[in-house]
Structure 1
Amino acid sequence: MKIAIVDTYYAAFLKTHYAASGGLQRQDFQDQRDALLASCFGTSDFYSRHLQKLGWDAQDLIVNCVPLQVAWADENGVPYSKLAMQLPHRLFRVPMIGPWLAALPGLMEIAVAQLKTLKPDVLYCQDLSFFPPHALRELREHVRLIVGQIACPLPSNDFLRGYDLILTSFPHFVPRLRALGVASEYFRIGFDTRVLEELGSVEKTVPISFVGGISRHHTNAIPTLEYLARETPIQFYGYGVGALDRGSPIVARHHGEVWGLGMYRALARSRMTLNRHIGVAENNANNMRLYEATGVGTLLITDEKDNLGELFEPGKEVVAYTSKEEAAEVILHFLEHPREAEDIARAGQKRTLSEHTYEMRMIELNDILKRHMG
């Protein structure tokens, strides 16, 4: 069976990736896609590679990458508007602007054309906000099952009801989606061992790090991060520092954006790394950092959540904190007791590699999809 895995990548990553690529935008669709997947950004080819081993014909589509999608359109004779390619995709849904822009063939239209060409049995969308309801209705005659996956704030109900099934790593989203009449199941994120092969041996030279974004979804975490910047030697890597006041103690410790394999390397160089969840997670542990940090063998210090014990054993495989003061105490303790930190990090990595890999997740997904296809 065929599955098309549709994803969108952060614009900042795409800009950085193409700027460093030496003319990648002039290469054909396949070469561009291979280069993007090789970067290990997001879920990369972590789904498709393992689904292929299970007998699926799995294709990755990065539908908001302009040079990639333009290459596909040119190679397949699909018309598009150069103006539409220069406009942010979100503008197509802005009242009064959207109806005018909808007449311009752009990224969404190219993605629809790709799917009509592929005719997958399953359309698997990692970004529920990309296809508007009318596009999903148009695709129904070409696709057997339309599936979405979400671990961020929910889009409007009109977008949600266009899916046959929505998977989520937020346990609390499942009953809310079902109450809307949308089939939903709990499906966790994971770690891919290809990352370890790509990284090779990495020396741990950073005592404690925070690797991640600072955005409107993370505002509740900023006081904690600033407190830790004053009380511990924590170093920062990621995006969004420009949104902070220049007097923030984070700024002086910030080492810039890291993406894909560079992000994993920053984690792997760290003896410990701090994790915190966005507000929409409520009191549930779910995010990618749980598995990324433990997967590369770094001690994860994470905010305490009700279900954390279902994923890792706190105190033995990861360490939990309930306040900024406790986070600082934990960090300072393990700086003074490095062997204890190493023992917990090793146990956390063992748990992730034995229970939380994408190879295992795809076995779960294979069963879920076949069950819902009937």
Structure 2
Amino acid sequence: MIFTKEELERYSRHLIIPDFNIEGQRKLKAAKVLVVGSGGLGAPLLSYLVAAGVGNIGIVDFDTVDESNLQRQILFTVDDVERPKVEAAAERLRKQNPFVNIKTYNTVLTSQNALDIIKDYDVVADGTDNFPTRYLVNDACVLLNKVNVYASIFRFEGQASVFNYTDKDGSVGPNYRDLFPSPPPPGLVPSCAEGGVLGVLPGILGSLQANEVIKVITGIGETLSGRLFLFDALSFETRTLKIHRNPDNPLNGENPTQAELIDYEQFCGIPTQEEKSKVKEISARELYELIEGKKDFQLLDVREPYEYDIANLGGELIPLNQIEEQAERVASNKQVIVHCRSGKRSQQAIKQLEKKHGFTNLYNLRGGLLAWAEEIDDRVAKY
């Protein structure tokens, strides 16, 4: 592996570390790392991998840059809003280090394409924010015998680990399914878009991911394989828990039952399009016409009080986690429009009320306040 004079100058602070030196830098330059997600975790992760000189980096992301991303996704600027994230990220990263090869995948990672994309890489770094993709990335890495460097964040807390790592003795460490054999019920754990996240937290966890990726590639130090690192940004407390292989793991336990990728939306209990369509919906425009026409209906907001204080449509507030115990406040003799920020929590609220209390007059505001901001009044989107 040959370095130019410019590269040697760029990486000089690595080269003078006795336990790293030119051999470690050669391993970085030869490595191929796939980063899934270029958002909160992916932004610092990609920045430090590129700066460190990882020679070949792939980026998978289907999303576009939104103004709400700029609070924590430090790869992007206001000029990138509405651009594909992989496009904006690659442009910025190439300017950061022209000696790194960057390949982009502007697509959703699915059971159909995951194996084809991941097979060409040595290490996968998971920067996703949803359970179906986490299980998909994990399973693909196990099936392809790839290392999975994992992190996740929520509000003020984060965690990180290294999955499916083969140590110097040839022993394979635990993977995500050993830690979480099954996903939580849908809606129990909100995404960052629904629950929020302290802006600096993904920077901390994404940097830790980059550190683990570099250790995996170069072989220096001890990775987080077999351990789960927990970080609380408010108390500045950390814990490290041990993780063990689960003999019942369906992928590589004592009696494996899964040899291919599955439907991860179904596995995580995410409603199919057909199931979603069973919930009656109303558009933002239709709601606006009901309000302007002074029709008799109830508007129900199932977000949290702090969200309501920031922006609301004047509806009655009953947070999702209180909806069943306060069902008597929901009208049964007229149309009830239920909404949240994006339409996910309100859909869940409707299903709970219909199943437990037999309501038949509930309608979900399709797209929630985000749709209202897009179609009717953009002032409610500024939170």
Fold match (TM-score > 0.5): no
Which protein has the larger Cα radius of gyration, Structure 1 or Structure 2? 2
**TM-score interval, smaller chain:** under 0.3
Higher helix share: 1
TM-score, length of structure 2 as denominator length? 0.26
Task: Report the TM-score, using the length of structure 1 for normalisation.
Answer: 0.26
Higher relative contact order (CA 8 A, sep 6+): 1
